[in-house]
Chain A
Amino acid sequence: MTDQGIGARVLRKEDKRFITGKGKYTDDIIEPNQAYAAFVRSPHAHANVKSIDASAAEAMEGVEAVLNGHQLTGDGIGNIICGWGITSKDGSPMNMGAWSALATDKVRYVGDAVAVVIADSKAQAQAAAEAVIVEYDVLPATSNVLATLKDGAPQIHENAPGNLIFDWEIGNKDETDAALATAHHKTTMDITNNRLSPNPMEPRSAVATFNEADDHYTLYTTSQNPHVARLVLSAFYNVAPEHKLRVIAPDVGGGFGAKIYIYPEEIVCLWASMKTNRSVKWTSTRSEAFLTDAHGRDHVSTATMGFDKDNNIVGFKINTKANLGAYMSLFSSSVPTYLYATLLSGQYNIANVYCDVQTYYTNTVPVDAYRGAGRPEAAYLIERVMETAARELGVDPGELRRQNFVTQFPHQTPVIMAYDSGDFAGNLDEAKAAADVAGFPARKAEAASRGKLRGLGYSNYIEACGIAPSAAVGSLGAGVGLWESAEVRVNPVGTIEILTGSHSHGQGHETTFAQLVSERFDLPTENIQIVHGDTDKVQFGMGTYGSRSGAVGMSAISKALDKVEAKVKKIAAHVLEASEDDIIIEGGEVKVKGTDKAMGWHEVGLSAYTAHNLPEGMEPGLKEGAFYDPTNFTFPAGCYICEVEVDPATGVTEIVQFTASDDFGTIINPMIVEGQVHGGITQGIGQAMMEHAVYDEGGQLLSGSYMDYCMPRADDVPNYTVSHHSTVCPGNPLGMKGCGEAGAIGSPPAVINAITDAIGNNNLHMPATPSRVWAAIQQVSAAHAAE
């Protein structure tokens, strides 16, 4: 057997090009006759556009064209869509405001594009963009949900009174109210989930080429889902018919959700390429990225959890208000609803859960999915409440969780999800042992002797991946199916190409997907090539997000491999004159079990293509495709324990230990999975302690660069202790659950629970910056002084 199959720590096949500088990212591409786009963006958060004077810009050297929104809509380019319809409590559809790729009459956030300059060079385009004179009639703006709720708040879209997009609910209100009314103890908290900027290190970029002779478009773009991009660009934005549009997402430098959506810039580059008959390239600066990449999170919630006299949870009621920004981005509506509230039962047996969610427009960049997308908001809410309840009840926070864990599977929650597997207590025990929770009091005492405050916090998260059963999400309002496709091509020489609709932008698919094939056919991974990210090569796919590439993408490959395996066995049985049931594939050969009859793997490939001696009626060739539509979500879960030390003089928090025990189901490559967890936890620590996308009241972004948006750096985070305690997922052929987002979902509450434990003040919101932690410590000191 090869040692490169499932479970092996195979080094990544894709690494060599990245470590040698040979990666090919979108901005690395230069097309013949390429021009550059620079966008004219609104400096105002909310304004009517009175006039655009491009005459000076048009006269500048190297300027090919200056184009505006009226020309764009005049050419029939469609408005940007939201792909998930949400129905309000009263049955009304969501109030979706129009979003043109170039604003026509009104701008609604700082960075909203009103015009684009196409010029020979980047510098010329930028200079000309500065020379475009836009006259604005500035309007009052609103930048956060609480301000939006005030009387007299500015109206952002005419069809959304009060800026309300929808008012949605899930669960049973009356039963939850009744359960809470009889509760022996109630824990109520106001919880804010801070707004974040995703910040993949590669800024977004697009290179669009219209080929007039063929009436054909090619778009290189930084996308997590090039096929979805092509579909939407074609079907909704009318940029080009689908068969005349090729979308290529080459090497993509991280996504984290921010590269799911089809942004105005890609639409405009394609359209401008047609208008100017030149290739048009645009690459975001980091400053533009802060202004225009979809942000994440930004929830304000109130939650009440009730317990009976034995500390069993009897009900959980939540109200959440979510900021969706100035326009509804592609999946924005699904994030604070089906990706969030369906996880509000957590790892716990809760008979009654009710959540209602109001979403609002504000004069800020659109908010959409960012690593975890809704699930971090749910986990943070539940796990902060559980820790707080344990403190109020005077019980051990781990034990309060344990007694409420779901232990029987399948488990139907009151909020749609049916958990299929898990061993939550197993994860808790593993994490507690690894974190040496028993030794914590001694460590705390030792820290105190050094003047430091030491604290410990838990987080027992559960999330939903494997997105998603198409019919189920369709019934909930999704505009697409969320299956995945794969094609397996065995070449005549026996090498294999796997074409997948999943997209890798750091996840290592070229390695893990090859391991799956290696496992199946006992072939070395170097004989297996993964092809992705090009709509001309891969017929269709839904892309990579929601930790779906393993559970859904690899399941599709597995299904296609089944078909290939069956055909291989048929061919071999025919050639070797044996029964199909006796054929085994092993060591590069296809053999008849228990005999010395065998043919080389490559000989089977060759037989399939020469077709000289195939079974009667069999088609030549060895290529099979499959679509896999999941039957349920998958439910990765785990226990994270964070231990911190706080310097009371400065409020600086050091994470001294972070322990993770995850249940991801089957793991293909532990090395890669651990890497995903490290990165996810770091983003979660970033959210908990550092990162905050902040607008002032007038809608100006205050955290518009790395000078003010605090990215986690190497000396901000510790080494992590990561382990796996897995149960097999019964819902897909490989038993996989997904690992891409867990770290970011599970870690923030563990961090805040630890800091609040250390400082003895639960009144602390993310990000727990030194300044905020210090202020919270002062509150405690002031309270003590008052006593």
Chain B
Amino acid sequence: MYETTYYRASSVSDATSKLAGTEDGKFLAGGQTLVPTMKQRLAAPSDLIDVSGIEALRSISVDGGVVTVGASCTHAQVAGSGDVATAIPALAALAGGIGDPAVRARGTIGGSIANNDPAADYPAACLGLGATIVTDSREIPADDFFVGMFETALEEGEMITAVKFPKAAKAGYAKFPNPASRYAMVGVLAAQAADGVRVAVTGAGNDGVFRHGALETALGADWSAAATEGVTTDAGDMLADIHGSAEYRAHLVAVIAGRAVDNS
């Protein structure tokens, strides 16, 4: 790991102003992605601004139809939250399936979506549930937030403070894990959201998480696993690697979407 300077931020403004003064600093939350990347010498931030201790970012609240999850909430915290389980059970289940227990104890929602790993679970939750990403300066609809693989709409120095998830009439998540890494090879969140059925697919696409129009149409007409059968996905848009061809992933999208519906 390259040398770095660590700083534990006490508040959001402390974190953003501190980062602004660094040469090439990065926010550090649970570190479950950033630390391994640094260990592999694939990232060399001059400074790490640790936001995991900011108390204001660690709460979960339910207000009417919206569940607000602080950016530094761990996956274990979201998975174990009674409020989340009651309001949006699919979100609790998704969080409970990220990584392994030790990863869930440290990894945070803010860190996960800021990184926008194409195989991460949370981007599917955000996009599928039509969440709003709250930063220190603005609110960004999920539809605008995930720009591409490892790319988001976040500006330099902008910090995620919370994610607002609207309750869905029904929502389900299902994941087909990569056998080796256990990240999502295909993860689908399907929801009956306020603006209609939303289906977000993570893990499979060659440009990160995406919404699946054909599945949204099919499930909008008939909310059942059977409705996903025969809905095709363009293999040209899928990732391919030693674990599976693009055709296999394209096939799995509809299968896993059906299971997401079953889980709703």
Binding site for B on A (CB under 8 A): 123, 126-127, 130, 287, 649-651, 690, 692, 694, 702-703, 706-711, 769-771, 774-775
Q: Are B248's CB and A775's CB within 8 A?
A: yes
Chain B residues contacting A702 (CB-CB under 8 Å) are: 241-242
Q: Say whether B180 faces chain A, with CB atoms less than 8 Å apart.
A: yes
26 A-B pairs within 8 Å (CB atoms) are namely A126-B41, A130-B41, A287-B40, A649-B255, A650-B255, A690-B180, A692-B242, A702-B241, A703-B242, A707-B180, A707-B181, A707-B183, A708-B180, A708-B181, A709-B180, A710-B180, A710-B243, A711-B180, A769-B244, A770-B179, A770-B244, A771-B244, A771-B245, A771-B248, A774-B248, A774-B251
CB closest chain-A residue, reference B3: A123
* A127, B40: Cα distance in complex, Å: 12
* A357, B189: Cα distance in complex, Å: 52
Chain A min CB distance to B249 (Å): 9
* A106, B26: Cα distance in complex, Å: 41
Chain B residues contacting A126 (CB-CB under 8 Å) are: 41
* A749, B162: Cα distance in complex, Å: 52
Chain A residues contacting B40 (CB-CB under 8 Å) are: 287
Q: Are B243's CB and A708's CB within 8 A?
A: yes
CB closest chain-B residue, reference A709: B180
* A650, B252: Cα distance in complex, Å: 7
Q: Are A650's CB and B180's CB within 8 A?
A: no
Chain B interface residue bracket vs A: 10 to 19
Chain A min CB distance to B237 (Å): 18
Q: Are A694's CB and B242's CB within 8 A?
A: yes
Q: Say whether B1 faces chain A, with CB atoms less than 8 Å apart.
A: yes
* A709, B242: Cα distance in complex, Å: 10
* A123, B38: Cα distance in complex, Å: 13
* A711, B41: Cα distance in complex, Å: 24
Chain B residues contacting A127 (CB-CB under 8 Å) are: 2
* Contacting residue for A706 out of B180, B243, B248, B255, CB 8 A: B180
Q: Say whether B176 faces chain A, with CB atoms less than 8 Å apart.
A: yes
* Contacting residue for A708 out of B2, B41, B242, B255, CB 8 A: B242
Known: A692-B242, A769-B243. A710 touches B179 (CB 8 A): yes
Give 12 A-B pairs besides A710-B243, A770-B176 with Cβ atoms closer than 8 angstroms: A130-B41, A650-B176, A650-B252, A650-B255, A703-B242, A706-B181, A708-B242, A710-B179, A711-B180, A769-B243, A771-B245, A775-B248
* A708, B176: Cα distance in complex, Å: 15
* A206, B241: Cα distance in complex, Å: 35
* A706, B241: Cα distance in complex, Å: 15
Chain B residues contacting A771 (CB-CB under 8 Å) are: 243-245, 248
Mark B1-28 against chain A: 1 for CB-CB distance below 8 A, else 0: 1100000000000000000000000000
Mark B230-252 against chain A: 1 for CB-CB distance below 8 A, else 0: 00000000000111110010011
A-B CB proximity, top 4 nearest = A771-B244, A710-B180, A707-B181, A710-B179
Chain A residues contacting B2 (CB-CB under 8 Å) are: 127
Chain B min CB distance to A787 (Å): 22
* A703, B243: Cα distance in complex, Å: 10
* A279, B240: Cα distance in complex, Å: 46
* A703, B179: Cα distance in complex, Å: 12
Chain B min CB distance to A295 (Å): 15
Chain A min CB distance to B234 (Å): 18
Chain A residues contacting B179 (CB-CB under 8 Å) are: 690, 710, 769-770
